[in-house]
Amino acid sequence: MLDFFTIFSKGGIVLWCFQGAGVTESFTGPVNALIRSVILQERSGNNSYTHEALSLKYKLDNEFELIFVVGFQKILTLTYVDKFIDDVQLHFRDRYKNELEQKGSLKLLNNSFEFGNEFKMLLREAEASGKAKSPAPMRSFKESEKSQKTVKSMIETKGGDKGKEQSGKKNKNTKKDEAAKGDQVKAPPTVQKVTVENGNQGLTADEIMLKKREEFFRKHMAAPPEKTSKSPKPQKPREKPRRVWDISGKSGKSTKTLDYSDSRNGEDSTNEGEPNQDGTLPESMPGELLPVECDSSDEDDIVEEEDGEVAVVGNTSSISSKKAGGFGGMFGMLKGLVGSKNLTQADMEPVLDKMRDHLIGTSSAKGSICDFILGEAEMYTFTALSVASTVKQALQDSLVQILQPKRRVDILRDVMDAQIQRRPFVITFCGVNGVGKSTNLAKISFWLIENGFTVLIAACDTFRAGAVEQLRTHQRRLNSLHPPEKHGGRPVVQLYEKGYGKDAAGIAMEAIAYARNQSFDVVLVDTAGRMQDNAPLMTALAKLIAVNMPDLVLFVGEALVGNEAVDQLVKFNQALADHSMSDKPRLIDGIVLTKFDTIDDKVGAAISMTYITGQPIVFVGTGQTYNDLRSLNARAVVSALMKA
Ligand code: GDP
């Protein structure tokens, strides 16, 4: 009954397909139409699509980057198809897990996926279950229960039901009441006082020592707390699970220090005076940030391969063909295209198709970048260089161009300008939960302090439990690295907080006013993590930005999630525009790309984010210590991408 079933990679390689008995029509047309009009445009909402007389159902497997498509005549009602497609997906994944994990397109091409028998067995089972579930024939009125009832019995039943209904309603109301009461109990305690927290203010030296001693004993001696009461615990606001990232081998750094998302870590910290948990001091970071490091040893090598000889253009030394890094990775696939000839668009198309697959694999912005490159590549004289090196050069230049900031972002200079105007320079950080807003805000504070500025951190994440404590811990640590004694008795960083449950826009406003009065140079506004499609929270963020007009709105996104980060950024921007009350809404001005140390060669997100929104990557987070903050080195990033 199925016309066809096909499994292919997101790069377009067909791994396996099945054509129903007696079906003569090719299914390439309908599948191509599905890819063009649904999958490439990311409209994959309801997982079904109609093409002429065919119904197509499809499923995306994001882990292995596969697409499963089944087609059947649209006049048929096949109730089992959804479950069947799930079953095929599971079986196919299980069976070819190892091959799929290798992911490289060429490896997939070389594999033969013998899936016919398993598929037929699954299809038989699905069809059998479909038949078993086919709808029962309709009963006649005489067979129905209603025909047995007298009018009287119906009236009685109705009365009874009414009673039940009422009691039901009553129950609902009581439940509502209880819920309302519960809400009152659960409402987070609002902290009335405004504290400008700065270590153990207000305590004498003896008291501080006593407090620390108590904390030490509590930490080291305490047995697990006994359960004293059996009453249900009041429900806390959902706490974000503490993340621990594996650092990729590249950086070689340990995952120490900056994870204060665990509130115990923040409050009970006994080594407050110590900069890092291992006692090491962060390196100092005055001046401009160092550019992000990628393995870019062959950065500018354009390799030409003619008559079996390999030479490096722009570098006079010859290298062995094995060492020709420029042709490693995705450029390996261009080897067959060498030679000196004039290039036409037709020559470029297959190369760019492969490149498109590759870019999708490294999570950058799909086809559009290829189109851009195609335009760029045409500007080159193709006669002298081989196809591969021409394409490589064009690609490299285009990607570097994409990553170059279109606007000048020079925070140190802008802070100085603001100083002259006797006002604080305000940066607001936004993004979804757990991407590293607070951590990177602390790193940026460190960098600003190292450059001689004072910082006020506004704790405007008034929602997530532990958010304020996390910032307080950073504030203490930063002050212990730059003690007030070295800064004329003035703490270089302070925290402006009002606890939880308050209006974030209001707190930001008070913090900015406080910073102006107290002559702080910079205000860094931390905001609560929110999902890009949560309308009320996005409205609140738009309000915070509209009311406070920060100098810079930075979107924090983790490089780790690839295209998902691009999606977040686009939707954040869109939501800020949609939910702003003003005609000229303030949008995102720049990006903080975090967890860059965890992505190996998957640097495509960086390119996609900048290409799609045109916003510069202002900071790159490369780890969990205060030093792990970099600026973007476009060439190095592009080079890493090309080597992948
Ligand atoms: P927030 O909810 O957005 O404020 O996120 P946090 O600042 O609490 O960070 C969440 C987790 O990501 C913490 O464990 C941080 O240590 C970690 N993190 C933040 N930035 C980086 C980074 O650049 N690299 C790595 N490896 N981890 C990071």
| Mean pLDDT computed over every residue of the chain | 72
Q: Are 37 and 18 in contact (CB under 8 A)?
A: no
Q: Which of 24-33, 58-67, 400-409, 481-490 has the highest mean pLDDT?
A: 481-490
Ligand 1 center to 558 CA (angstroms): 9
Residue with more model confidence, 494 or 186: 494
Helices (H), 306-450: 345-361, 366-377, 387-403, 411-420, 437-450
Q: pLDDT category, 551, cuts 50, 70, 90?
A: very high
Which residue among 461, 624, 629 is best mutated to probe the pocket of ligand 1, counting the most ligand atoms within 8 A of its Cβ? 624
Q: Are 338 and 388 in contact (CB under 8 A)?
A: yes
Q: Which of 294-303, 394-403, 506-515 has the highest mean pLDDT?
A: 506-515
**What's the confidence (pLDDT) of residue 244?**
47
**What's the confidence (pLDDT) of residue 369?**
57
Residue among 487, 422, 485, 413 at smallest CA distance from 449? 487
Atom of ligand 1 nearest to the CA of 240: 2
| Protein residue with its CA nearest to atom 19 in ligand 1 | 436
**Tens-digit pLDDT profile for residues 69-121:** 999 998 888 888 888 999 999 999 888 888 887 766 666 677 778 888 999 99
**What's the confidence (pLDDT) of residue 556?**
95
**What's the confidence (pLDDT) of residue 614?**
80
Residue with more model confidence, 68 or 295: 68
**What's the confidence (pLDDT) of residue 147?**
64
Ligand 1 center to 195 CA (angstroms): 26
**CA-CA distance, 525 to 505, in Å (whole number)?**
10
The mean pLDDT value for 366-387 works out to: 51
**Tens-digit pLDDT profile for residues 165-208:** 444 444 444 444 444 443 333 333 333 344 444 445 556 666 76
Instruction: Answer yes or no: is pLDDT of 574 > 70.
Output: yes
Q: pLDDT category, 379, cuts 50, 70, 90?
A: very low
**What's the confidence (pLDDT) of residue 142?**
66
**What's the confidence (pLDDT) of residue 444?**
97
Instruction: Answer yes or no: is pLDDT of 226 > 80.
Output: no
**What's the confidence (pLDDT) of residue 531?**
87
3-state secondary structure 227-272: CCCCCCCCCCCCCCCCCCCCCCCCCCCCCCCCCCCCHHHHHCCCCC
**What's the confidence (pLDDT) of residue 266?**
40
| Protein residue with its CA nearest to atom 9 in ligand 1 | 436
Q: Are strands 455-460 and 522-527 parallel, antiparallel or unpaired?
A: parallel
Instruction: Answer yes or no: is pLDDT of 50 > 60.
Output: yes
| Protein residue with its CA nearest to atom 16 in ligand 1 | 259
> Dmax over Cα atoms in the chain, in whole Å?
104
Instruction: Answer yes or no: is pLDDT of 481 > 90.
Output: yes
Q: Which residues contact 619 (CB under 8 A, 6 or more apart)?
A: 289, 440, 443, 444, 554, 592, 593, 629, 630, 631
Q: Are 615 and 591 in contact (CB under 8 A)?
A: yes
Report phi then psi at 440, rounded to 5. -75, -25
| Protein residue with its CA nearest to atom 21 in ligand 1 | 595
| Protein residue with its CA nearest to atom 13 in ligand 1 | 259
**What's the confidence (pLDDT) of residue 219?**
59
Which residue among 250, 251, 439 is best mutated to probe the pocket of ligand 1, counting the most ligand atoms within 8 A of its Cβ? 439
Q: pLDDT category, 48, cuts 50, 70, 90?
A: confident
The mean pLDDT value for 473-495 works out to: 93
Ligand 1 center to 439 CA (angstroms): 5
| Protein residue with its CA nearest to atom 20 in ligand 1 | 436
Across 126-130, 362-366, 541-545, least confident range: 362-366
Q: Which residues contact 318 (CB under 8 A, 6 or more apart)?
A: 310, 311, 312
Atom of ligand 1 nearest to the CA of 467: 4
**What's the confidence (pLDDT) of residue 534?**
84
Residue with more model confidence, 351 or 266: 351
Which tokens belong to 98? 């190892």
Across 132-141, 387-396, 397-406, 580-589, least confident range: 132-141
Q: Are 313 and 304 in contact (CB under 8 A)?
A: yes
**Tens-digit pLDDT profile for residues 349-367:** 776 677 666 665 555 544 4
Residue with more model confidence, 248 or 616: 616
Which residue among 238, 239, 240, 245 is best mutated to probe the pocket of ligand 1, counting the most ligand atoms within 8 A of its Cβ? 245
3-state secondary structure 152-205: HHHHHHHHHHHHHHHHHHHHHHHHHHHHHHHHHHHCCCCCCCCEEECCCCCCCH
**What's the confidence (pLDDT) of residue 443?**
96
pTM for the model: 0.53
Percent of the chain with pLDDT over 90: 26
The mean pLDDT value for 308-325 works out to: 31
Q: Are 385 and 357 in contact (CB under 8 A)?
A: no
Residues with CB under 6 A from ligand 1: 243, 245, 247, 258-259, 261, 431, 433-440, 529, 594-595, 597-598, 621-624, 628
Instruction: Answer yes or no: is pLDDT of 452 > 60.
Output: yes
Ligand 1 center to 328 CA (angstroms): 33
Residue with more model confidence, 326 or 4: 4
Ligand 1 center to 47 CA (angstroms): 34
**CA-CA distance, 311 to 321, in Å (whole number)?**
8
**What's the confidence (pLDDT) of residue 458?**
97
Atom of ligand 1 nearest to the CA of 461: 4
The mean pLDDT value for 210-239 works out to: 51
Q: How many CB atoms lie within 10 A of CB 551?
A: 18
Atom of ligand 1 nearest to the CA of 598: 26
Across 168-172, 421-425, 580-584, 588-592, least confident range: 168-172
**What's the confidence (pLDDT) of residue 438?**
95
**CA-CA distance, 379 to 410, in Å (whole number)?**
32
Secondary structure E strands in 43-87: 48-51, 54-61, 66-73
**Tens-digit pLDDT profile for residues 332-347:** 544 444 444 555 667 6
